[in-house]
Amino acid sequence: MHPQPEQEEMLRSLAPLAKEEYVLGDRAFLVGRFYTRPYAETVSADFRQQGFFTVVYDYPVS
């Protein structure tokens, strides 16, 4: 998730365990790891409805 600066406080209240990391070359907050892509997409859609920019990213498994 990539919140606008004015959204960070709201994000931290909605997802207090979100970790800030650099993903795909930009700062992002990882809200969680999910076992299924459909569930991750549902969570993403919920945050998008609240005005956040979100993506579901599949980490490569080695």
**pLDDT by residue (tens digit) across 2-24?**
888 899 899 999 989 999 988 77
Residue type, 38: P
Q: Could you give the percent of the chain with pLDDT greater than 70? A: 98
Position 31 pLDDT exceeds 90: no
> What value does the mean pLDDT take over residues 25-38?
87
* Residues 1/53, Cβ–Cβ less than 8 Å: yes
What would the pLDDT profile of 39-62 be if each residue is shown by its tens digit? 999 999 999 999 998 889 887 776
Dist. CA 34–CA 9, nearest whole Å: 23
DSSP code per residue over 32-59: ---SSHHHHHHHHHHHHHTT-B-----P
